[in-house]
Amino acid sequence: MGMEIGSKSATSGLTKQIYEDLTQVLEDANAFSYVDVEGKTQVWADAQRSEFNARLKDSSYGYAKSIVEHIQDNADVSAQSNVTVDPAFWSWLIALVGILTTAGGVTLSPAMVTFLATNPIPTTLSSTGSVS
């Protein structure tokens, strides 16, 4: 997946991935049902679920937009950077993409925390290949 924010309707890009992952986490947790006063399990009405999905799509778009814009604004990547000029940066980026494409749902947050704890976000690129 490239650095594509995606659509507000959550049909493409990072927005779609976030929306799908959040929806799966909520479905796995039975978040779309409740127990009524008689102790019977009830599911949300279609209108409730539809409104929630619309808000979740908006939130997913906001998260994706913030993530992509933060990376674009803070990663000092020039057109001259490539794997031969800065292999350490590209190794870091490949590892990050691996986390983003394999971890999902409830595993994404701990995976990111673990990755970033041992692999801080590079702030500059080096022609010697070291990330700082």
This prediction has a pTM of: 0.53
Q: Which residues contact 98 (CB under 8 A, 6 or more apart)?
A: none
Task: State residue 1's pLDDT score.
Answer: 46
Task: State residue 131's pLDDT score.
Answer: 47
Nearest CA to 33 out of 42, 24, 25, 22 is that of 42
Domain ranges of the chain: 1-74, 78-132
Task: State residue 99's pLDDT score.
Answer: 77
Q: Which residues contact 131 (CB under 8 A, 6 or more apart)?
A: 86, 88, 89, 92, 122, 124, 125
Task: State residue 38's pLDDT score.
Answer: 92
Say how far apart CA 87 and CA 34 lie, in whole Å. 52
Q: What single-letter amino acid sits at 125? A: L
Task: State residue 92's pLDDT score.
Answer: 80
Task: State residue 117's pLDDT score.
Answer: 84
Which residues of the chain are under the pLDDT cut of 50?
A: 1, 79-81, 83, 129-132
Task: State residue 129's pLDDT score.
Answer: 46
Which two structure tokens, joined as six digits, stand for 19? 């929306």
